[in-house]
């Protein structure tokens, strides 16, 4: 269990190294699909790519037309809202478990080859 920290001896090239290193991607693994900011819009976008959800949305919109109204407007929305909520919670939990696994992998101790 020895840990080794490698710090390059940059000397007078330190400022140049810091400028150049910002241009490149880091080496972290990220398999999550969502962030806190884009979870709701991206999840809804993905869910409405399913034909069944679009069909139920169409029925809800159609029920708002007074001539075609079969049920109360609010009741027809409940099944779709329930399905969207359950799937969003499931996707959120799966993405959170991916985040925890990524964090665990990114914090592993690695060996550095040295001649």
Looking at every residue in the chain, the average pLDDT score rounds to 84
Q: Is residue 24 part of a domain?
A: no
Domain range for 69 is 29-107
Q: pLDDT by residue (tens digit) across 42-66? A: 999 999 999 999 999 998 998 888 8
Q: Is residue 7 part of a domain?
A: no
| pLDDT higher than 70, residue 68 | yes
Left, alpha or beta for 64 (phi > 0: left; psi -120 to 50: alpha)? alpha
Q: Is residue 5 part of a domain?
A: no
Q: Is residue 90 part of a domain?
A: yes
Confidence class for position 4, pLDDT limits 50, 70, 90:
low
Those residues with Cβ within 8 angstroms of residue 102's Cβ, 6 or more apart along the chain or in another chain = 28, 29, 30, 31, 32
Q: pLDDT by residue (tens digit) across 16-43? A: 777 777 777 777 888 999 999 999 999 9
Q: Is residue 113 part of a domain?
A: no
Structural domains in the chain (count) = 1
Q: Is residue 20 part of a domain?
A: no
C-alpha 34/C-alpha 92 separation (Å) is 8
Q: What is the mean pLDDT of residues 91-107?
A: 93
Those residues with Cβ within 8 angstroms of residue 8's Cβ, 6 or more apart along the chain or in another chain = 17
């Amino acid at each position: 269990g020895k840990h080794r920290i490698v710090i390059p001896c940059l000397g007078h090239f330190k400022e140049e190294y810091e400028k150049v290193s910002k241009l490149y991607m880091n080496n972290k693994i990220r398999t999550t699909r969502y962030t806190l900011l884009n979870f709701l819009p991206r999840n809804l976008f993905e869910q409405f790519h399913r034909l069944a959800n679009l069909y139920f949305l169409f029925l809800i919109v159609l029920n708002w037309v007074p001539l075609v109204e079969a049920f109360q407007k609010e009741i027809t929305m409940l099944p779709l809202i329930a399905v969207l909520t359950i799937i969003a919670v499931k996707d959120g939990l799966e993405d959170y478990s991916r985040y925890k696994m990524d964090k665990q992998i990114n914090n592993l101790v690695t060996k550095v080859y040295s001649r």
